[in-house]
A and B are shown apart, each in its own frame.
Chain A
Amino acid sequence: MGLHTIQLIETKELLSETLRLKSDGYRIVAISATGLSGGATELSYSFDKNYDLVSLRFIANAEDEISSISLIYSPAFIYENEIKELFGVNIVNITLDYNNNFYTIPVETPFKKAGEE
């Protein structure tokens, strides 16, 4: 089995850490989100190189603006649109932004924890 490392970062470090992984030859695997109480979301950006997985992790608070990594990893747009629409995370500067119309669903931010905000 390959190694899996979860690297805790600050929100402001996202772009620099992503750029470092890109320079090291990692490919994007997934961006995952988990809704937390208080409207926050735990985000994990996962990258692979030779079966080793590195996940950059931080907590995005409801009022935080998260920079898109789609200029560094172009396929990130698809993950970011999903998270933006399902969790309500405010991800900005996505190269192809669907403005919450990626999924054709009638419910707003269904994966955000209930009873918040």
Chain B
Amino acid sequence: MGKRTVIPFGPQHPVLPEPIHLDLVLEDETVVEAIPRIGYIHRGLEKLVEKKDFMQYTYVAERICGICSFMHGMGYCMTIESIMNVEIPERAKFLRTIWAELSRMHSHTLWLGLLADAFGFESLFMHSWKIREQILDIFEETTGGRVIFSVCDVGGVRKDINAETLTKIVGILNNVEKELKELTDVFLNDSSVKSRTKGVGVLTKEQAYDLGAAGPMARASGVEADMRCQGYAAYDKLEFKPIIETAGDSYARTSVRIGEIFQSIDLIRQCVELIPEGDIKVKVTGNPSGEYFTRIEQPRGEVVYYAKANGSKFLDRLRVRTPTFANVPALLETLKGCDLADVPILVLTIDPCISCTER
């Protein structure tokens, strides 16, 4: 055994958009152990259910994360609707699915840009985010907001998308698809990019399962877990199969996310074809009483909402288990045995969201 050195990584680091700290224990240039420390941006948002009533809390839920904002709002609303036995209109389910898949595209293209930035490919980073802008423009046109847009509500959605705009969205996505094909070819086929991702940070299927990994992190290791298979929102009406890779390395995680961007375009096209006419919201009366666990598939993976209500307008408890929180143990496993130079790439390949993690 060589001499061991401990190097602090983060909480401020060029590759980290948000603060997380890792104590990296090294032997020469090889990481033998990593110990995480979080808590730099703990906001106690779960505690706010004691101050904001269950309707107002939708706005707080959307602020758990700036990237999965819509998904957090949707997951929270679904949980309350389940407790109150509220059946939302079919059209609202399709609209939620469209915005959810656009959110996945926006999150994954953002992540592609961050990955490119991490291995120093600046033009690739800019191209990724240029494509992402078109998704944000769709958000702005359909909701009025680009990141946090508050269209989800308990009982349905607040805004409709007319047929003309839906057709326009499909047209935009057709162009985005072509641009993405060109962009993602670089991530998947460029030798310099592959040299940073192929065979780096391998997580086996057994490890991913045992460590409770979620989302693309698990699916890139061959674990077939995608909460959309449960058929919430309009997913039960759509043709859908999870994107799975088996190599379990950083390349596989990139490949899964790229596959999911194209899959999202396909799902949105299906939604536009199948969306029925009708109301977008039902009136919700009374207060929730009971408890419910909801699981949905965010861009970063499975998120769990647990709400316990006592019949008053304030919940007893809201618990949100975010995908990054679940992926931390898997990250620590992939870091063992890696080169120090690969740590930033490995941290990024779980697509960490510390804002979600700490809530």
Q: Is A27 an interface residue (CB 8 A)?
A: yes
Tell me whether A30 and B321 are in contact (CB under 8 A): yes
Sample of 17 further A-B pairs with CB below 8 A, known A32-B304, A48-B225 = A1-B230, A4-B293, A27-B210, A28-B212, A30-B304, A32-B319, A32-B321, A33-B319, A44-B306, A51-B227, A51-B230, A75-B326, A75-B329, A102-B37, A104-B37, A105-B39, A105-B42
Q: Does A2 contact B (CB under 8 A)?
A: yes
Question: Closest CB-CB distance, A94 to chain B, in whole Å?
Answer: 13
B55-108 at interface with A (beta carbon < 8 Å): none
Binary flags per residue of B292-323, CB closer than 8 Å to A gives 1, else 0: 01010000001010101000000011010100
Q: Can you list 5 contacts pairing A with B, beta carbon distance less than 8 Å?
A: A27-B210, A53-B293, A102-B38, A104-B40, A111-B47
Instruction: Report the contact-size class of chain B (Cβ under 8 Å from the partner).
Output: 35 or more
Cα(A7)–Cα(B229), bound, Å: 24
Which 6 residue pairs across A and B have the least CB separation, nearest first?
A103-B39, A104-B39, A75-B329, A30-B321, A34-B317, A32-B319
Chain A positions within 8 Å of B, measured between CB atoms, are: 1-2, 4, 27-30, 32-35, 44, 46, 48, 51, 53, 55, 73-75, 77-78, 96, 98, 101-105, 110-111
Q: Mark B210-232, 1 if CB is under 8 A from A, else 0.
A: 11100000000000010101111
B210 partner, pick from A48, A74, A96, A104, beta carbons under 8 A: A74
Given contacts A30-B321, A75-B329, A78-B329, contact A51 B229 (CB under 8 A): yes
Evaluate contact between B42 and A75: CB separation under 8 angstroms. no
Given contacts A32-B319, A110-B47, whether A75 and B38 have CB atoms under 8 Å apart is: no
Interface centre among A2, A33, A74, A104 (most CB of B within 10 A): A104
A103 and B38: CB pair below 8 A?
yes
* Residues from chain A with Cβ under 8 Å of B319 in the complex: 30, 32-34
User: Is A34 touching B316 in the complex (CB atoms < 8 A)?
Assistant: yes
Residues of A within 8 A of B40 (CB): 104
- Tell which of A29, A51, A103 touches B42, judged by Cβ atoms closer than 8 Å: A103
